[in-house]
Amino acid sequence: MAIDDPIKCVILPQFQGSLLLPRASVVEVVDGRDLDIVVDLQGGVIGKMQWRGWTVPLVSFEAASSGSIPKFNSETKSVILH
């Protein structure tokens, strides 16, 4: 990769604003219907979810940055990152 090669990115919409990430960091976008939300965890970790046989932490960038946990609805998606 040369210095002037563009970095392919994705914009992930959030409830307040958007998050820009390198495309290579996104593994999969999954449906968020079966989330196990625990609202008293720290550091933006708001629960856990099952993904391909693994239990992975569910991190809210909004909760980590502003301290407020966003509301979830039937359209909520989760993004698995490297």
- The pLDDT of residue 22 is 93
DSSP assignment of 7-27 equals PPEEEEE-SSSEEEEEGGGEE
pLDDT averages per 10-residue partition of the chain, 82 residues: 80 84 92 66 77 85 73 77 88
Structure tokens at 79: 């993004």
Q: How far apart, in whole angstroms, are the C-alpha atoms of residue 46 and residue 37?
A: 6
* Predicted TM-score (pTM) above 0.85: no
- The pLDDT of residue 23 is 93
- The pLDDT of residue 38 is 66
- The pLDDT of residue 26 is 93
- The pLDDT of residue 35 is 66
